[in-house]
A = this chain, B = another copy of it.
Amino acid sequence: MGATRVIETLVLSLLLLLSGSSATQRKKTRAAPRMPCKQMVFYFHDILYNGENAKNATSAIVGAPAWGNRTILAGQNHFGNVVVFDDPITLDNNLLSIPVGRAQGFYLYDRKDYFTAWLGFSFFFNSTQHRGSITFAGADPLNKTRDISVIGGTGDFFMARGIATLMTDAVEGDVYFRLQ
């Protein structure tokens, strides 16, 4: 989640197992197994507050180690920085597309010798297509592609389990990169 960059776009490709282990569904599942898996792809866009972009920023540094502050990501690969975000989710890689939901939660940088992050966040949908939330958590080694776990869901995604793959889509100058 970009060093001096302030805008980034991430692609989240989602493999969901819906209600697969619900006891109330088990009998029915056995008789006529439903397709429990659902593959979805979403883009979300992160613009980090840098002291000047209060209007556009979708995330802000809220925790920093003793050697850091809250407008510039800290040295040592941002170790210790905690960022809260509320990013629009779109169906393509265009920041200006109409959002279908919000990605809300936090990430923190947790390695001194190179970038790694730990994320806890939810996709929150309130549209005609999807209603409910999917919650994710896990380590993000910031490799080209990296997997995080689906740890819960509500609404349409009640009892969801599965995995999400995050990818960097592209980088535009110092202030924009997307993930695919």
Chain B contacts of A108 at CB under 8 A?
62, 84, 105-106
Which residues of chain A have a CB within 8 Å of any CB of chain B? 17, 20-24, 29, 33, 36-37, 49, 51, 54, 60-67, 69-71, 79-82, 84-86, 102, 104-106, 108-112, 116, 118, 120-122, 124, 126, 132-133, 135, 137-139, 141, 147-155, 158-159, 161-163
24 pairs, CB–CB < 8 Å, chain A vs chain B: A24-B37, A54-B67, A60-B66, A62-B63, A62-B65, A63-B82, A63-B84, A79-B84, A79-B86, A84-B108, A102-B111, A104-B110, A104-B118, A105-B139, A106-B118, A135-B149, A135-B151, A137-B151, A147-B154, A148-B152, A149-B151, A149-B153, A150-B152, A158-B163
